[in-house]
Chain A
Amino acid sequence: MINLKVNNLRKHFGGLQVLKGVNFEINGPELIGLIGPNGAGKTTLTNILDGAIKPNSGTVYLNGERIDQYKPYQVALTGLGRTFQVTRSFRRMTVLENLYVPALAVGEEQNRAVVHNKAMEVLEFLTIDHLRNDFAQALSGGQQKLLELGRLLMLDPDVIVLDEPFAGVHPKLMEVIYEYIRRVNNDGKAIVIISHQMDAIFNLAKRLLVLNYGDMIADGPPDEVKNDPAVIEAYLGVDEDEKEEMAGAQ
């Protein structure tokens, strides 16, 4: 049973408090949307989960193992994988080599033929198998997003954090990414999607977490969160007419 437990996570950069005691828990193969305005602390939270930065206080447990002081590679091998807001493929390596990296990092002595076959399956699923011998730098932005997702399939983590997976992606490829998320989730992985594309989030997520300047202000089903006044004010913004009405009422 997948369990990610984030307890009272705090992080500050100098005087700027980016996370002010964030708590949440993921149980089982949940499909979660993490939203919040720019500067809310979403990427900082992701970087702490991934081990790239350490929190000032608080803990993160993955399947009972404390991971908040782990290095990124240890977090990845423990079972949490992520993509980056700006695509970070290994540009001067072939598409297949990009996929071999996490597969060989996970398995000490994996059979190369097994790894190759798995990589080919992943590429076929992502519809970029025809590019397998190309250098990643020859791929379009959308294809590179798919490649990043493919690398996660090769890593095979329990929890996947996708940072802006739909940014700058062609609508047709977006369907591939939708399908990817649903299939991986059905395969028993927990997925956290960070995105500013609300239609995609509401389409996919069964639960929403809302961060607002370091505070977790909402956690619940999308319909419930969508109507939460605090979320409307903090994230979606209050309509100017509504503000005037509220002021008049007072």
Chain B
Amino acid sequence: MGKQHVPTLFGTFLLLFFAAFPFLYSAGDYDYVMHVIIIAFYYAILASSWSLLAGYAGQFSFGHMGFMGIGAYTTALLLHYIHFAPEPTNLCSEFNIGGTWMIFDNPVGVTSTSLGQSCFTQALEIWNGSVPVTGVPVWIGIILGTIMGGIAGLLIGLLVLRLRAAYLALFTLGFAEILKATISAEIEFTRGQAGLETPALFENGITLFGHFYSRTDKLPPYFVFFFLLLLCLGVLWWLTRSKFGLFVRALREDQEAAAALGVNTTRYKVLVFMVTTMMAAAAGAVQAHYVGIVTPNALFLLQMSLVVAMAVIGGVENFFAAAVGAILIQFVLEMLRNSFTIGPVTIDMTIWRLVIFGIILMLTLRFTRNGLIAPIIEYFQRGHVAAETVAKRTAATAETGVQG
């Protein structure tokens, strides 16, 4: 077996490790460690999808967390405002669909005088449990959130067709900031900074492997995020090995030259926006149900910077490296939380960990342009190419006397 298979072996090992981890680990901090890994998976989805957009296609978007927010808020708003019941409330806007009433709750904001005055809350008080009420299933919310993220990505992709480099970055940054400001300002509808509460991924618990897990158990969401990450990585793997991957890389290298060779650059630029934003939105929607609340804080520029830094440190031109980078950095950031004392000086790591993180980022950008992990993968996959070329070049030079 050649050394070019080492990355595949390492990837398989990681897959098996994370698949078995919840069953092998049993320390007292089980829930905490599981939570850290779940969040690491969440960031891995964001970083790897962003790497396709920025690293492969050269579209440096800073709106990725905005699309994540669209996914999160779509499912949160749907589940907050739409309900189903066999009887009408006669208070809310409602439609009869095949004998079931689809009820739209009215927005009431977050002030103390308005709380409890939504039409649906009043109806529930009147019914007093006599009418069975259901909401939009969580999985429907996640799928619709993903689709909304894709639609938003399609529209933004069309808008930024002519923008490049810094202009594209500024435009997408502006988009994410406007979205955050709008969510914060529309308090009546989105509840602003108070956030929208969301039901858990498995609100009534779930039985897995013959064992019942409650809504607060970590194992079910762990595997939801794990499979979502595998799905995203699988799609990215397939895309980057298809002509789609070839064309978006050509787009990154030289848009005019790619077009002159028959590549519909508009189509692929929009498609890559749509695919990656759908992944970000899916991660956001699932995360919303895992955390149990969505707030505009998730859209902060700092969060976007964290995703960018994770992808850059892992290696932005390799989605797998970006995903591994995100998982590693999430662990490192958690480990650096522990403050320590050197003589009379106490180092407060809650602040200094970000400084250390910043220094790692700066050193990576300065010395290894494609991150820390991607060059290792490249070494194993392409390490033999240089030697081969030198041998062939020597032979060709001896034959023709030309080096070019």
Contact = CB atoms under 8 A, between A and B. Distances in A.
Contacts of A71: 259, 264, 266
A11 interface: no
Given A52-B256, A90-B257, A76 B250 contact: no
Interface string B265-292: 1100000000000000000000000000
B261 A170 contact: no
Contacts of A155: 261-262
Nearest to B258: A101
Contacts of B259: 51-52, 71-73, 76
Interface in A125-144: 127-128, 130-131, 133-134, 138-143
Nearest to A110: B243
A97 B265 contact: no
B261 A76 contact: yes
A91 B389 CA distance: 17
Interface in A175-198: none
Contacts of B253: 89-93
Interface in A4-27: none
A169 B401 CA distance: 15
A97 B257 CA distance: 14
A68 interface: no
Interface in A52-103: 52, 71-73, 76-77, 81-82, 84, 88-93, 97, 100-102
Contacts of A90: 249-250, 253-254, 257-258
Interface in B285-331: 317
Interface residues of B, number: 33
Contacts of B385: 133-134
Given A93-B249, A101-B247, A170 B258 contact: no
A73 B404 contact: no
A243 interface: no
A81 B261 contact: yes
Given A90-B249, A102-B261, A170-B402, A131 B393 contact: yes
B260 interface: yes
A140 B404 CA distance: 6
14 contacts: A52-B259, A73-B265, A82-B260, A90-B254, A90-B257, A102-B261, A106-B262, A134-B385, A134-B389, A138-B389, A140-B403, A141-B404, A170-B403, A170-B404
Interface of B: 243, 246-247, 249-250, 252-254, 256-266, 317, 382, 385, 388-389, 392-393, 395-396, 400-404
